[in-house]
Homo-oligomer: A and B are copies of this chain.
Amino acid sequence: MNTPEESTLGIVGLGLMGGALALALRNNAVLGKRGRLLACDINTETLEAAQGLIDEGFSSPEPMLGRCDLVFLCLNPSTLLRFMERHMARFRQGALITDIAGIKGNIAAAMERDLREDLDFIPGHPMAGSEKGGFAQAGSCDFRGKNYILTPLKRNKPENLEFLKALIYRLGFGRITCTTAEEHDRKIAFTSQLCHAIAAALIDCEPDRTITRFGGGSFEDLTRIAMLNAPMWTELFLENRRELLDRIAQFEGSLDKLKTYIAAGRQKELQETLETVRERRAAMG
């Protein structure tokens, strides 16, 4: 593979994350004079809006895929798997492919099993979304210092993994963690899906809109992510349901403990628990 500067990069799907990747590639001057940024999206208005940001836009992937050294698939998990089935034959010989989906188990398994032999697919997850959706909001994603998870397959070529990591750092991300798809899905069920389920439940349980008069920041902070992309989060919740249900139960265990202390007026144990929590969270920075 060439250096990023000289590569032809393709983005499939110019939604929030596809758009944010394109912006970061440009803002960080990752592509040199000989590099090219291609993108496809089914929405022609989005392609028009992306003029100037991308070198060429396509309303279907057929004419684009064969030209790309590296393809970022910025699609919902289910769409992504269908896309790979349908367009597998069109990728350039030896191309590197990566994705951005929030669950990795099903994708990693499908790619271990079905990927064309000469292609290299490195599953990835940039932890830098936003509650805002769509290409027009791409500027609201700030990659600087953020986490990026890769769940490499056994078959990935070391030089491709290194190429992708270098590119990710140049996009501004602060830390790359390589792990298994299983560990990713277990941890993400906690840090991401459980948090979204909690935010959704908080909004679902209180229909009174004047409640915002009593907001002091906590409620707003805990529920901002309730402005979620409903079809995508439905997919993520259902696809990772076993891990997510485990995590909800784990959370409920601690909430039950607090309830017990509160109901029984166990001041000492409640305060000790809150002290421990405070110290643990402060240590996380």
Residues of A in contact with B (beta carbons under 8 Å apart): 126-129, 146-147, 149, 175, 177, 184, 187-188, 190-192, 194-207, 209, 211-219, 221-231, 233-234, 237-238, 241, 244-245, 248, 250-255, 257-259, 262-263, 265, 267, 270-271, 273-278, 280-285
Contact = CB atoms under 8 A, between A and B. Distances in A.
Given A244-B262, A248-B255, A271-B231, A191 B209 contact: no
Contacts of A233: 274
Chain A contact residues, majority secondary structure: helix
Copies of this chain assembled into the complex: 2
Contact of A270 (B128, B175, B237, B285): B237
A6 to B, nearest CB: 31
A200 B274 contact: yes
Point out which of A128, A231, A241, A281 has the most chain B C-beta atoms below 10 A from its C-beta: A281
A225 to B, nearest CB: 5
A253 to B, nearest CB: 6
A284 B221 contact: no
Contact of A201 (B149, B238, B251): B251
